[in-house]
Chain A
Amino acid sequence: MAGAGPIPCPPPEGYNARMTETAEATKTATAGARAPRAVALISGGLDSMLAVRVLQEQGVHVEGINFFTGFCVEGHTHAIRNKDRDRPKRNNALWVAEQLGMKLHIVDIAEEYKDVVLNPRHGYGKNLNPCLDCKGFMVGKAREWMEANDFDFIVTGEVIGQRPMSQRKDTMPIIAEESGADERLLRPLCAQNLPATLPEREGWVDREQLHGITGRSRKEQMRLAEGFGLNDYASPAGGCCFLTDENYSRRLNDLWQGRGERNYELDDIMLLKVGRHLRPSPSFKLLISRDQGEGQFLRGYRRNHAWMETVSHGGPLALVDGEPGAGEWELAARLVARYSQGRNAEAVEVAITDQDGSTWNTTVTPMEPGSIPEEWLL
């Protein structure tokens, strides 16, 4: 294989010892009998990591499940940009699994998840985040997995009062009921503030060793993490879903308005995460790369978009979403030229390829700085 060559991929420090320790703890606690088996929803953040660790301390065999919705905030998406290339390219859910010495199952629910985003029974939060429906749906998928794999109960890292929509005392029973998990849903970090669940009543876990954490403060979780020797974890309470992001939600709303229907494909929602988005007309939108990394990424989507790039000067790659009218191609070209190295030139040549594969070049004057209406910028 030509090029850079082998990439070292050693396990994280202490990984082998942790795997042995976890297996031994389960064996000791259950004295050889079948250990209770739990499946835990793993986001990659601190709370779900702690929830698992609390149960591992009690000898419960825990495996993680992580759902891919298409809206996940991943280090890899950020790493598309040149300036972010040095960020760690780790998947936080996998990182957590390695820290805890447990298996992680990653499940693609992107297609089914559309209904959660498009028709949330409990509505949206501040942006297009259907948090309560989302949690109920994911716990429901975890229940299906639990039943198919002969596990006993489901674990989440939820804390009462931590999230305004989905993590409240009055919404916790809704999640348990709508997911069908009912009494098999255990929240180890706040269990002492909730009625005892089946795993507690059956003695699979000791309620006294669970916790009664409430509120948005992270102090108690950080203290717990320190006690477990966990000192490397993703930003506490860090958002893991683009739907909570105001800017992203605006772009998604614009996509629906532009197409005249509330629907999307996976490619659509991936592209909303990348580049500069401008809508100069109801009939089309431009996605303009901000650096070489994004340009490279957008190149992969040329097959199903019209696209443009500057010829006479260095510049971005732009995808065209929609169909510009006859007089609008020049406007699009002037916008692309505005973000090229020829932004101050009198004339910039732009190559255009439409969706049928026809290509032509046009020479335009770049839009002047300050002449792009703010409402065009998404």
Chain B
Amino acid sequence: MSEYELDATGTLCPIPVIRVQDRLAELAPGDILTVHASDPGATHDIPAWCRVHGHTVQTCEEGDDGIRVVIEVGHG
């Protein structure tokens, strides 16, 4: 299992989702991807996209420094 980071701050949905989609395609099941975003829509869209593709959102949180979504790669 490896851990990776993705910076999607400053982009509007659906761009953060597209970035997640493209990055996850390169990772292996069990890998962890931490996504940083700024568009509030990402807190809905990234988990929704992960659900339909069989990935697990471990945490989704919003703080003063932005949005952070931690994803465990599934079998797709």
Contacts and interface: CB of A to CB of B under 8 A. Distances in A.
B32 to A, nearest CB: 16
Given A74-B14, A105-B21, A106-B14, A9 B43 contact: yes
A14 to B, nearest CB: 13
B52 interface: yes
Interface residues on B, range: 20 to 34
Given A3-B65, A106-B18, A90 B12 contact: no
A108 B18 contact: yes
A94 B45 CA distance: 7
Contact of B44 (A6, A91, A97, A300): A91
B48 interface: yes
A2 B13 CA distance: 23
B63 A7 contact: no
A103 B50 CA distance: 9
Nearest to A16: B51
Given A75-B41, A98-B51, A3 B10 contact: no
Contact of B48 (A2, A74, A91): A91
Contact of A4 (B14, B45, B59, B62): B62
B48 A3 contact: no
Size range of the chain A interface in the assembly: 35 or more
Nearest to A90: B44
A79 interface: yes
A94 B12 contact: no
A102 B12 contact: no
Contacts of B62: 3-5, 7
A15 B14 CA distance: 22
A104 interface: yes
B52 A89 contact: no
Interface in B44-63: 44-45, 47-49, 51-53, 57, 59-63
Contact of A76 (B18, B41, B59, B60): B41
A5 B21 contact: no
B35 interface: no
Contacts of B14: 66, 68, 72, 74, 91, 106
A3 B15 contact: no
B17 to A, nearest CB: 6
Contacts of A270: 12
9 pairs of A and B residues whose beta carbons are closest in the complex: A3-B63, A9-B47, A76-B41, A1-B63, A3-B64, A94-B48, A89-B41, A2-B64, A4-B62
Given A7-B61, A7-B62, A76-B13, 18 more contacts: A6-B60, A9-B48, A9-B60, A74-B14, A74-B41, A76-B12, A76-B39, A89-B40, A90-B45, A90-B48, A91-B14, A91-B17, A94-B48, A94-B49, A98-B52, A101-B52, A107-B18, A270-B12
Interface of B: 10, 12-15, 17-18, 21, 39-41, 43-45, 47-49, 51-53, 57, 59-65, 68
17 contacts: A3-B62, A6-B61, A15-B51, A68-B18, A74-B13, A74-B41, A75-B41, A76-B12, A76-B13, A77-B12, A79-B41, A89-B40, A89-B41, A89-B44, A90-B44, A91-B41, A94-B52
